[in-house]
Amino acid sequence: MSTTAGVPFDAHSALVGRVDYCHNFAVGEGNKIPYLSAAAHASIPRMTRHQIGDTSLAFKHGSQIMRLYGKHDEVAYRANSGRATDDELRESVGLLRLEISHFNSDACRRLSDRYSLPDRYADLLLHSTIAHQEIERGLTMLGLDKITETVDARIDILREIYGDTHQMRRLVAFLGFLDRYGEGFWRHGFGGYGRSTYFQYCRDLKKAGVWLKSDRQLPPLRLVRNGQKQFSKAVQPMSNTISHSPAGADFQRWYEKNGDDGGVAGRRSIM
């Protein structure tokens, strides 16, 4: 920053007005949509869920946004306008990206309070320790820090955890209503569930690790702090991959309208 601005930068006293933490998970092209589809079932208190195209998902509350999307689709969109290189496009194959953004001073102040920091100083917030904790917190909120089970396996897992009990049978019945009528079905009177019972059963399902669902079992996403970059071998020339990434434009249009400055290539990210 000192080199760019041409003036000394005092990270000990500079206050952060915005921060973006991000991490790329090498899941492979074939696993990106299953992970996104599973995360689309996450329910995060006070955050509104937005599905953007087939390969982008966002949760927003006020000045905070959490995004999960296929990195290759976003890079392909930028490549169409000459803002990404062929190497960048190749390296983005198979990557699932999680971003957690705090857009203003108040959001950064709440972030510093969460970690008991004296203030939103740059040398404290722009630090790998805070970045790792925020990414891990995001994975937990999405439920992706646990194995994502298949629909058929969830009943077996509930039996393993709760045994052949009334509680297990109640949760299995609740799963059936949830799968058929979707989140918040209690508002329509389906099944006779009241609000408190509905959310208690939701917590029980999340605790058991069967809230998310997929057509196949997916391993938990974990941070690898010192691992080497690994890219899929299924790399194709740029001219052959851009046409297969239609969701990139959907992502960019949503991105530019929801609290960001639109500068995808110039985002200030830590990690």
Does 237 score more than 70 pLDDT? no
Does 184 score more than 90 pLDDT? no
Per the model's pLDDT, the better-predicted residue between 261 and 263 turns out to be 261
In this prediction, residue 256 carries a pLDDT of 55
Whether 195 and 102 map to the same domain: the answer is no
Residues in the chain: 271
Q: Which of 265, 225, 266, 256 is nearest to 56 (CA)?
A: 256
Per the model's pLDDT, the better-predicted residue between 26 and 182 turns out to be 26
Whether 134 and 84 map to the same domain: the answer is yes
Per the model's pLDDT, the better-predicted residue between 19 and 271 turns out to be 19
Whether 163 and 128 map to the same domain: the answer is no
Does 245 score more than 50 pLDDT? no
Whether 49 and 95 map to the same domain: the answer is yes
Please state the rounded mean pLDDT for residues 243-252: 42
Q: Write out pLDDT tens, residues 7-22.
A: 888 889 999 999 999 9
- 43-47, 67-71, 107-111, 155-159: range with lowest mean pLDDT: 43-47
Does the predicted model carry a pTM greater than 0.75? Answer: no
- 77-81, 112-116, 210-214, 240-244: range with lowest mean pLDDT: 240-244
Residue range(s) defining the domain that contains residue 42:
14-146+225-270
Does 183 score more than 90 pLDDT? no
Whether 124 and 159 map to the same domain: the answer is no
- 261 found inside a domain: yes
- Round to the nearest angstrom and report the end-to-end CA distance of the chain: 16
Domain count, the chain: 2
8 membership: H or E segment, kind and range: none
Percent of the chain with pLDDT over 90: 46
Whether 230 and 119 map to the same domain: the answer is yes
- Residue 20: Cβ within 10 Å count: 19
Please state the rounded mean pLDDT for residues 193-206: 91
- 3 found inside a domain: no
Q: In angstroms, rounded to a whole number, what is the distance separating the alpha carbons of residues 61 and 70? A: 22
- 63 found inside a domain: yes
CB 202 within 8 A of CB 43: yes
Whether 174 and 71 map to the same domain: the answer is no
Q: Give phi and psi for 207, each to the nearest 5.
A: -60, -35
CA distances from 92 to 114, 158, 229 (A): 32, 37, 11
- 217 found inside a domain: no
Whether 89 and 141 map to the same domain: the answer is yes
In this prediction, residue 253 carries a pLDDT of 54
pLDDT band at residue 247 using 50, 70 and 90 as cut-offs? very low
Q: Write out pLDDT tens, residues 134-158.
A: 999 999 999 899 888 887 788 999 9
Whether 131 and 67 map to the same domain: the answer is yes
- The pair of structure tokens assigned to 61 is 């509350």
Order the strands of the 64-70 sheet from edge to edge.
Answer: 48-52, 56-61, 64-70, 95-102, 19-26, 269-270
pLDDT band at residue 160 using 50, 70 and 90 as cut-offs? very high
Q: In angstroms, rounded to a whole number, what is the distance separating the alpha carbons of residues 172 and 168? A: 6
Does 259 score more than 60 pLDDT? no
- 114 found inside a domain: yes
Q: Classify residue 89 as exposed, middle or buried by CB count within 10 Å of its CB (0-12, 13-18, 19+).
A: buried
Rounded to the nearest 10 degrees, what angle do helices 154-162 and 166-181 cross at?
150
- 1 found inside a domain: no
Q: Write out pLDDT tens, residues 123-139.
A: 999 999 999 999 999 99
Whether 141 and 162 map to the same domain: the answer is no
Please state the rounded mean pLDDT for residues 54-75: 91
Whether 168 and 183 map to the same domain: the answer is yes
SS3 87: helix
Domain endpoint, select from 161, 176, 208: 208
SS3 86: helix
CB 27 within 8 A of CB 65: no
Whether 51 and 135 map to the same domain: the answer is yes
Q: Which of 178, 49, 35 is nearest to 96 (CA)?
A: 35
Q: Write out pLDDT tens, residues 74-120.
A: 899 889 888 999 899 999 999 999 999 999 999 999 999 999 999 99
